Amino acid sequence: MEKVQISPSQLFALIFLFELGSAVVVGLGMQAKQDAWLAVLFGMTGGLLIFLVYRYLFRHYPNLPLTSYIPKILGKWIGYPVTFLYIVYFVYLAARVLRDFSDLLLTSTFRETPMLAISATMIALSVYGITKGIETLARTGEILFGFMIVLIAFGFFFLFASGVVKFENLVPVLDNGWKPVLTTAFPQTLTFPFGEMIVFAMLLPFLNKPKMEIKIGLSALTVSGLLLALTAAINIAVLGPYIASTSMFPLLKTVQKINIADFIQRLDAIVISMLIIGGFFKIVIFFYAAVKGIEDLFKVAKHRYIIISSVGLIILTGSIYMASNFPEHLEVGLKIVPIYLHLPFQIGIPLLLLIVVLIRKHFNPRR
């Protein structure tokens, strides 16, 4: 492990910014229509339970990241291939978030700008951030956490001041029963964004107060989950369930409704700023986890800058070529990725690791 440390408040900020990431901008849970906020809350509850599994494994290997203790639990022949798959998984998710980021900017602001230029700029910033180390990123996150809270507060204030929030759009609650809520929550909102907390199994060993990981993890997940549920509710209250569920970026459309005395309006910059901050930290954390995993698996820490540059290039290329357009990108992200990628890597493999650890502990209590 690197000889670096992050504080509990920094970890809280990183988790908060990571969870909001692109989830606060895209239509999270909108398949449940006016009950989207309920689907988000159910997904958050499942995410809290999954985090307890990650925490249990961390307590057994407090000085090791996920990619280091997998081979210790499963053995080298199985563990090393699984570790490599996690590295690929982190790279792929970084590319997906980068595509979310680029498409929103293209849609809202830079319509004539090539996607490559936007994506390359974000990757360049991410490469720079990772070369400075996780401590620098954590301190930056702590600062930008406060800025993000201010943006969110201003956004909600102006929406209510504009009088465009109509809570009657949220009723009737459970008009179509529990099925749409549960099928949206599991696996969609469970795996995105809450199950993606698996990446923090790579960062928990850096916490300078390891015993606080449970308090920080659960509280950050809860706060971000409640905020995402509130955002979903506000989007529906402003736009109505149909427009909110069919819009690619409902929060952007919601903020565009702000109009106070024909003076305060067109506050798209609030949403763009939130996406840039949250998107950057989500990309850079997945990016960092992939780099750290490569260093652990192949023992090539001396070539860190080459690894960072290579992984950055792969993420950039993958984000551009993973889909021909944004609707296709969303379709894959909502219907294929949760089932075939998120469930195995976020739930299936961690549960397998937990079972193996419990069996070993049963037969050898001193372990």
239-298 residue pLDDT tens: 999 999 888 889 989 998 988 877 788 788 888 899 899 999 999 999 999 999 999 898
Q: What's the whole-number average pLDDT of the chain?
A: 91
In three-state secondary structure terms, 259 is strand
Identify which has the larger pLDDT, 364 or 104. 104
Across residues 200-227, what is the average pLDDT?
Answer: 94
pLDDT at 196 over 90: yes
What domains sit in the chain, N to C, each tagged with a CATH number? 8-354 (1.10.4160.10)
Would you give the DSSP letter of residue 167? Answer: G
pLDDT at 1 over 50: no
Residue 30, classified by CB atoms within 10 Å of its CB into exposed (0-12), middle (13-18) or buried (19+), is: buried
The span from the CA of 33 to the CA of 199, in Å, is 30
Contact criterion met (CB below 8 Å) for 193 and 337: no
The span from the CA of 158 to the CA of 125, in Å, is 31
The span from the CA of 72 to the CA of 64, in Å, is 10
What's residue 248's pLDDT?
Answer: 82
20-58 residue pLDDT tens: 988 888 888 888 989 999 999 999 999 999 999 999 999
| pLDDT bucket at 2, cuts 50 / 70 / 90 | low
Give the rounded percent of residues in the chain with a pLDDT score beyond 70: 98
85-101 residue pLDDT tens: 999 999 999 999 999 89
Using CA of residue 349, residue 225, residue 134, residue 56, what is the dihedral sign? Answer: negative
The span from the CA of 240 to the CA of 245, in Å, is 9
What's residue 323's pLDDT?
Answer: 87
How many C-beta atoms lie closer than 10 Å to residue 107's C-beta? 13
What's residue 339's pLDDT?
Answer: 93
The span from the CA of 344 to the CA of 351, in Å, is 9
10-19 residue pLDDT tens: 999 999 999 9
Those residues whose C-beta lies under 8 Å from the C-beta of residue 184, and which sit 6 or more positions away, are 29, 31, 32, 36, 39
What's residue 303's pLDDT?
Answer: 75
Crossing angle between the packed helical segments 268-298 and 304-321, to the nearest 10 degrees: 130
Tell which residue, 346, 349, 287, 307, has the closest CA to residue 81: 349
C-alpha count within 13 angstroms, C-beta hemisphere, residue 304: 13
Cα 61 to Cα 4, 55, 64, 210, 347: the distances in Å are 17, 10, 6, 11, 19
Spell out the alpha helix ranges (H) of the chain: 8-20, 36-60, 66-74, 76-108, 115-132, 134-162, 179-183, 190-191, 213-239, 241-246, 250-255, 268-298, 304-321, 326-335, 337, 349-363
Contact criterion met (CB below 8 Å) for 15 and 220: yes
Would you give the DSSP letter of residue 260? Answer: E
Give the rounded percent of residues in the chain with a pLDDT score beyond 90: 69
For 321, the token pair is 């070529």
304-352 residue pLDDT tens: 888 999 999 999 999 999 988 888 888 898 889 999 999 999 999 999 9
Q: Which residue has the tokens 């296709």?
A: 328
